Amino acid sequence: MYMSSSEVYGNPTVVPTPEDYEGRVSSIGIRSPYDEGKRFGESLAMAYYREWGVPVKIIRLFNTYGPRIRSDAEYARVIPRLVEEALHGEALTVYGDGSQTRSFVYVSDVIDAISKIMQADCSGEVFNIGNSSEISIVELARRILKLTASKSTIAYSPLPKDDPRRRCPDITRAARRLNWKPQVTLEEGLERLLTWYKEN
C-alpha cells in the first residue's frame, strides 16, 4: 500500500476531484517538494506493479483528523490547531479570508477504508479516501468556537503561497469498489475530538 495524498491534485480545476484527474501542480512552487514527492512515489509504485506484478494499491488521503493528532508540528493540521486555540482562549488563526474549502474525514473512517482496500482484489488501483462534504475554513472556525463555547475571536492572516482554493474528493470509486463511505459526520468527529482533549 502506498499512502499518497490529495496534494497530488495541486490546485484542482475539477471539484469534487476524481482519481483520474491528472493534477495542477507547480513543480517549482513552495509546496512542490511534498506534492511532487507523492506524485513520484505513485509513479514508482505503479512501475513496480506494471513491470513485476507487485500488488500495489494507492490511497490518496484527504484531510484526516482525530485524537492524538499534533497541533505543534511545522505543518500542523488545521482542526487541532483551531481547537487548541479555542480551548486556550487564543484567537483562531484563519488564513486569507477563510473562503478556501477543505473536506475532513475522521480517523476511524480512514482506518476502515485502509482495511477494506488491503483486503480487496484491487491491485494497480488508486482510491480517494476522504469526505465529500466540503466546508470553508472560516465556517470551520465558527463551528469550533460554538462547540467549545469559547470566547475567542477569529484572526485573519495572509494566505500562504500556492494554498489550494478547494479540496474535496470524488469518492465514487471507493463507494462502488469497496462499499465504503465515511460514517462520522464533521460535527460528531469534532465532538469526539473535544472529548479526547478534555480527558487528556
Annotated active-site residue 2? The verdict is no
**DSSP string over the chain:** -EEEEGGGGBS-SSSSBPTT---B--TTSTTHHHHHHHHHHHHHHHHHHHHH----EEEEE-EEE-TT--SSSTT--HHHHHHHHHHTTPPEEEETTS--EE-EEEHHHHHHHHHHHHHSS-TTEEEEES-S--EEHHHHHHHHHHHHT----EEEEPPPTT--S---B--HHHHHHH-----S-HHHHHHHHHHHHHH-
Q: Which of 2, 9, 21, 34 is catalytic?
A: 34
Q: Which residue numbers are catalytic?
A: 34
